[in-house]
């Protein structure tokens, strides 16, 4: 399996669309009960989905799983899910922000919005993961994570239920790790938090 990044991470952001429920569930099921990082998820889902994601991921994961709330702080050792029909952003004080602004890449919540705002806040502490999906959402955001010194991970297209999203991400930047779905969860499980890293863009 590919080795985790040498620098310490504190936060993981995951984006998925078509086929994402089972893919995210497979990843979350690999995280141990004492996992110390924060995990923030955007899964494209209909506006009327209610708490479908919350209940599904609570079933798949032994960590606390919560729906992200406006102005709430990001807690480590917790999985957060973007609520349906709301963009999820990370503020510089490491709190969440929700909005009902225009759809991005035809989606609300949009992966790009989470990834870009998280990259500006967490910089080298951030790991971004793109999984299966049928749009290009997340490609720009993953490139931003890479630019800010974070770690970029993409599900290998041949293991994705729908390979459009992983291929778009691979075309957008020089991805650090291309992993089959079965290796992404164990890769994330090996990450450990450390001293806060500097917010310095890498070009």
Per residue in 145-167, pLDDT tens? 999 999 999 999 999 999 999 99
Cα 24–Cα 22–Cα 83 angle in degrees, nearest 5: 55
Residues 3, 112: Cα–Cα separation, whole Å: 26
Phi/psi zone of residue 123: left (φ > 0), alpha (ψ -120 to 50 degrees), beta? left
Residue 8 annotated in active site = no
Mean pLDDT throughout 101-114?
86
What is the pLDDT at residue 200?
Answer: 45
The 3 state secondary structure assigned to 81-134 is ECCCCCEEEECCCCEEEEECCCCECCECCCHHHHHHHHHHHHHHHEEEEECCEC
Task: For residue 101, report the phi and psi dihedrals to the nearest 5 degrees.
Answer: -65, 175
DSSP-based three-state secondary structure for 195 = coil
The answer to whether 94 touches 120, Cβ cutoff 8 Å, is no
The answer to whether 132 touches 19, Cβ cutoff 8 Å, is yes
In DSSP terms, which residues pair with 43 in a beta bridge? 16
- pLDDT of 7 strictly over 60: no
Task: For residue 95, report the phi and psi dihedrals to the nearest 5 degrees.
Answer: -115, 160
pTM of the complete model beyond 0.85? yes
Q: How many CB atoms lie within 10 A of CB 83?
A: 21
Mean pLDDT throughout 59-82?
95
Residue 17 annotated in active site = yes
Q: How many CB atoms lie within 10 A of CB 157?
A: 17
Write the pLDDT tens digit of every residue in 9-28.
999 999 999 999 999 999 99
Residue 137 annotated in active site = yes
Q: Which listed residue (60, 137, 146, 177) is catalytic? A: 137
DSSP per position, 32-90: -TT--SEEEEEE---TT-TTHHHHHHHHH-SS-EEE--TTPBP-TT-EEEPPTT-EEEE
What is the pLDDT at residue 47?
Answer: 78
Mean pLDDT throughout 51-59?
87
Domains located in the chain, CATH noted: 38-189 (3.40.50.180)
Q: Which listed residue (44, 87, 146, 177) is catalytic? A: 44
Cα dihedral 127, 13, 200, 179 sign: positive
Q: Which listed residue (17, 107, 135, 152) is catalytic? A: 17
């Amino acid at each position: 399996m590919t080795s985790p990044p040498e620098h310490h991470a504190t936060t993981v952001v995951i984006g998925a669309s078509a086929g994402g429920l089972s893919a995210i569930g497979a990843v979350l099921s690999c995280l141990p009960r004492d996992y110390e990082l924060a995990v923030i998820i955007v899964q494209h889902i209909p506006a009327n989905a209610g708490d479908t994601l919350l209940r599904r991921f609570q079933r798949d994961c032994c960590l606390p799983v919560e729906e992200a709330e406006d102005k709430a702080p990001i807690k480590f050792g917790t999985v957060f899910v973007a609520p349906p029909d709301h963009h999820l952003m990370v503020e510089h004080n490491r709190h969440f922000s929700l909005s009902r602004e225009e759809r991005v890449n035809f989606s609300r919540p949009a992966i790009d919005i989470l990834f870009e705002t998280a990259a500006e806040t967490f910089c080298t502490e951030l790991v971004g993961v793109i999984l299966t999906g049928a749009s290009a959402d997340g490609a720009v955001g993953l490139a931003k994570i890479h630019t800010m010194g974070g770690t970029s991970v993409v599900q290998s297209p041949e293991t994705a239920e729908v390979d459009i999203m992983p291929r778009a991400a691979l075309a957008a930047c020089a991805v650090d790790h291309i992993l089959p779905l079965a290796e992404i969860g164990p890769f994330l499980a090996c990450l450990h938090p450390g001293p806060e890293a500097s917010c310095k863009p890498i070009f």
